[in-house]
Amino acid sequence: MKNIIVLGTWNSGSGAIHEYLASRKDILSPFGFNEFKVCSDPMGLNYLFQNCYRTGNTLLNPSHAFEDFIKYIDGFHKYKHYDNTGQEVKILDKMIVKLSNEFINKVTELKYFALPHYASVTMTRFEKFYMKIMVKVFNKKIKDLKLKKIIIPKNEKIFLTEAKKFIKKVLEYYSKQKITNQNIVLNNAADITDPVTSSQYFENRKIIIVTRDPRDIFSSMKQRKSNATPWYDVKSFIKWYKLSFDNQKFKKKINDKIILIVRICNFLKISKKFKLKKIESKFEISKSIKNIGKSRKFLNKKENLLISKHLKSHLQW
């Protein structure tokens, strides 16, 4: 089994590479052409790992991170998006909640209820009112109200072992089959700014990072008004791009043997002769070709010149 993770910056064209691989008969795509961000999103699995073992208050940070992770999984399983036919569909179902709870139980060393300072000062008015009534009127103890669950996780090795089992169970469930020798492709299943660490929850992984001319990236951002990006201002975009991808720290992180920038078929050791699945939505190279150099049409002269000047080493045409 090989987990192939396709990554890219916003509007980089990584979706086209994922669609090509997902359309092949010799590769499984558990979530269709959709993104699977359970590991990479803020509040996701890698966020949980970092807060348990790498950052901050090792007593209370894990508890807050576990709470965030539970909220995230619950929100993700309810989330709907529009597919290619314009219909609202869900990527996940309640099984992701069940599997997540099982994983949390397996990596929990100790849990108890309390009200630490950070939780006390961030309570809503309703929560404060509820606590006041329960304590003063009904003579309840704080511990009995179960306002905050404190979780102390097991050691890092156990966490990573159980995390890999959790992700494998998720992939098997949504693939509707046991995973043995199959290749699996996942869209944006890791964090592009730290691809190796954020993908450590996948067994036998290979990562493809898709780059694109920054002028075309900004052009697509503007057209789509991408919510998570500075699409509305070219100077902010240039600074954002430099801070994220034009620095030695990032370049060092992508200099790894499990990461590929080009030559997809050779890297994955899959046949260059392939057949596409019989599905309504599949990879079409003609659609992707239209996106190359599209900024010539959609960027104004000032935007084009500024990006060409400040991000010169990243230009691809």
Beta pairing, strands 183-187 & 2-8 = parallel
pTM: 0.83
With cut-offs at 50, 70 and 90, classify the pLDDT of residue 289: low
* Residue-level pLDDT at 14: 84
The answer to whether residues 170 and 102 touch, using CB atoms and an 8 Å cutoff, is no
The answer to whether residues 48 and 82 touch, using CB atoms and an 8 Å cutoff, is no
CA distance 207 to 209: 6
pLDDT tens for residues 174-226? 998 888 888 999 999 999 999 999 999 999 999 999 888 888 888 888 888 88
Strand order from edge to edge, sheet including 205-210 = 27-28, 183-187, 2-8, 205-210, 259-260
DSSP of 169-194: HHHHHHHTS--SS-EEEEES-S-TTS
The answer to whether residues 82 and 128 touch, using CB atoms and an 8 Å cutoff, is no
The answer to whether residues 167 and 96 touch, using CB atoms and an 8 Å cutoff, is no
Mean pLDDT of the chain: 86
First-to-last C-alpha distance (Å) of the chain: 37
pLDDT tens for residues 85-119? 667 788 899 999 999 999 999 999 999 988 888 88
> What are 174's two structure tokens?
């949504």
Q: Which runs of E-coded beta strand occur in the chain?
A: 2-8, 27-28, 80-82, 88-90, 108-114, 148-153, 183-187, 205-210, 259-260
Cβ contacts of 171 within 8 Å, gap of 6 or more = 3, 30, 179, 184
DSSP of 29-58: -TTTTSB--TTTSTTSHHHHHHHHHTSS-T
CA distance 40 to 205: 15
* Residue-level pLDDT at 184: 95
